[in-house]
Copies of this chain bind each other. A is one copy, B any other.
Amino acid sequence: MALQLGEIIAALGGELHGDASLRIEGLAPLEAAQPAQLAFLSNPKYRQQLDASRAGCVIVAPALREQALARGACIVVDDPYLYFARVTQLWKRAQARPEGPAIHPSAAIADDAVIGEGARIGAHCVVERGARIGAGTVLKARVYVGEDCTIGARCLLHAGVVIGADGFGFAPNQGAWEKIEQLGAVRIGDDVEIGANTCIDRGALADTVIEDGVKMDNLIQVGHNCRIGAHTAIAGCVGIAGSANIGRHCMLGGAAMILGHLTIGDRVTISSGSFVARSILKPGLYTGIFPIDDNASWEKNAATLKQLHTLRDRIKALEKALGPRPEENEP
Q: Interface on A for B, CB 8 Å cutoff?
A: 26-29, 32, 79, 81-82, 84-86, 88-89, 91-92, 95, 97, 104, 106, 108, 122-124, 126, 128-129, 140-142, 144, 146-147, 156, 158-160, 162, 165-166, 168-173, 175-183, 191, 193, 195-197, 199, 201, 204-206, 213, 215, 217-219, 221, 223, 231, 233, 235-237, 239, 241, 249, 254-255, 257, 259-260, 270-278, 280, 284-295, 297-312, 314-315, 317-319, 321-322, 325, 328, 331
What's the least CB distance linking A268 to chain B, in Å? 11
Q: Does the CB pair B231–A175 fall under 8 Å?
A: yes
- CB contacts (< 8 Å) of A177 on chain B: these are 213, 215, 231, 233
Q: Does the CB pair A291–B305 fall under 8 Å?
A: yes
Given A197-B160, A301-B309, decide whether A221 and B206 contact each other with a Cβ distance below 8 A. Answer: no
What's the least CB distance linking A135 to chain B, in Å? 17
Bound CA–CA A310/B331 (angstroms): 8
Copies in the complex: 3
Contact of A309 among B86, B182, B273, B300 (CB under 8 A): B300
Q: Does the CB pair A172–B273 fall under 8 Å?
A: no
Q: Does the CB pair B315–A322 fall under 8 Å?
A: no
Q: Does the CB pair A302–B289 fall under 8 Å?
A: yes
What's the least CB distance linking A165 to chain B, in Å? 4
Given A122-B126, A124-B142, A178-B85, decide whether A168 and B201 contact each other with a Cβ distance below 8 A. Answer: no
Contact of A315 among B128, B170, B314 (CB under 8 A): B314
Q: Sort A-B residue pairs by CB-CB distance and give the 6 closest, nearest first.
A: A288-B292, A108-B123, A165-B196, A88-B181, A92-B181, A85-B171
- CB contacts (< 8 Å) of A181 on chain B: these are 85, 88-89, 91-92
Q: Does the CB pair A29–B205 fall under 8 Å?
A: yes
Bound CA–CA A266/B127 (angstroms): 40
- CB contacts (< 8 Å) of A162 on chain B: these are 158-160, 196-197, 218
